């Protein structure tokens, strides 16, 4: 399994500002993912972050709004830019790790963002 | 297109009862089916998982039943406890591509 930490755990931000969320993993992983989970909703994949290349964004998400960095195999950041109240959500970092001989997905504790 | 369909959206069960959550998928290439449990304010945590070459997997009070021909799988929580109250997500994967269900909010009443 993988142990994932995120900073900050929560934040309250003003409209128009930006917030950078950090994700740290206790082991080297090839693929890291960023998800958004709106209250009471399922998990929506924002992008896949691979070390040494640009992140791959899902439909509806763009780099200008959600720039991602992946400087090494244990760390990634997601920035939520020019925030609006609609960006209020939980943002989750996840990685694919190996459990036994199976690749499975592990999640961080999440960052709860409130935009006023 | 929702790759994995999950039901019910919410479920209320009496303490000691059996909670059953169902998922269905279309892509027969999926080769791994995990269930996640998420408590309020926490990230989803892997609960139990199954591969399509077995029909059932049991870990304590949690059992996955898998029906390959029907392309369905379900989570059974035996002797449900108030501490099981959480949101449960099913998922299906091919390699590193994971697809999640929409989640089931389970409430176990004392």
Does A103 sit within 8 Å of B105, measured CB to CB?
no
The pLDDT of residue A1? 75
Residues 6 or more apart whose Cβ sits within 8 Å of residue B12: B106, B107, B108, B109
For residue B83, the SS3 value is helix
The pLDDT of residue A31? 86
Does A4 sit within 8 Å of B44, measured CB to CB?
no
To the nearest whole percent, how much of chain B has pLDDT over 90?
90
Counting one residue from A and one from B, how many pairs have CB atoms under 8 Å apart?
Answer: 50
Whole-angstrom Cα Rg for chain B: 13
> Minimal Cα distance from B93: which residue of A?
A104
Average per-residue pLDDT for chain B: 95
- More confident call, A98 vs A81: A81
For residue B42, the distance in angstroms to the closest alpha carbon of chain A comes to 5
Q: Which pLDDT tens digit goes with each residue over B28-48?
A: 999 999 999 999 889 999 999
The DSSP letter of residue B32 is B
Query: Which band of pLDDT confidence, cut at 50, 70 and 90, is reported for residue A54?
Result: confident
The count of other CB atoms within 10 Å of the CB of residue B109 is 11
The answer to whether the beta carbons of residues B10 and B105 sit under 8 Å apart is yes
Q: ω before B8 within 30° of 0 (cis)?
A: yes
Calculate the alpha carbon distances from A18 to A81, A84, A109, A116 in Å: 4, 10, 21, 12
The answer on pLDDT for B59 being more than 80 is yes
Largest separation between any pair of C-alpha atoms in chain B: 41
- B63 has a chain A CB within 8 A of its CB: no
Report chain B residues whose CB lies below 8 A from the CB of A109. Answer: 42-43
Q: How far apart are CA A42 and CA B102, in angstroms?
A: 5
Report chain B residues whose CB lies below 8 A from the CB of A41. Answer: 102-103
Report chain B residues whose CB lies below 8 A from the CB of A3. Answer: none
The answer to whether the beta carbons of residues A108 and A4 sit under 8 Å apart is yes
For residue B24, the distance in angstroms to the closest alpha carbon of chain A comes to 16
């Amino acid at each position: 399994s993988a142990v994932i930490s995120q900073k900050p755990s929560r934040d309250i931000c003003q409209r128009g500002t930006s917030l950078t969320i950090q994700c740290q993993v206790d082991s080297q992983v090839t693929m890291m993912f960023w998800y958004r989970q709106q209250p009471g909703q399922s998990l929506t994949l924002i992008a896949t972050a691979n070390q040494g290349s640009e992140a791959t964004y899902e439909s509806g998400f763009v780099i200008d709004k959600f720039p991602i960095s992946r400087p090494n195999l244990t760390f990634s950041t997601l920035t939520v830019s020019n925030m609006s109240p609609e960006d209020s959500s939980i943002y989750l970092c996840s990685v694919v790790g190996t459990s036994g001989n199976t690749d499975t997905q592990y999640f961080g504790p999440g960052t709860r963002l409130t935009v006023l | 297109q929702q790759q994995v369909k999950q039901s019910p959206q919410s479920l209320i069960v009496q303490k000691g009862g059996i909670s059953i959550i169902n998922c269905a998928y279309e892509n027969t290439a999926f080769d791994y089916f995990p269930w996640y449990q998420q408590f309020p304010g926490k990230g989803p945590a892997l609960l139990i998982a199954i591969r399509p070459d077995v029909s059932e997997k049991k870990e304590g009070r949690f059992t996955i039943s898998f029906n390959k021909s029907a392309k369905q799988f379900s989570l059974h929580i035996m002797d449900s406890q108030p501490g099981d109250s959480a949101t449960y997500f099913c998922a299906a994967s091919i390699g590193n591509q994971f697809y999640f269900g929409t989640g089931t909010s389970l409430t176990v009443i004392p």
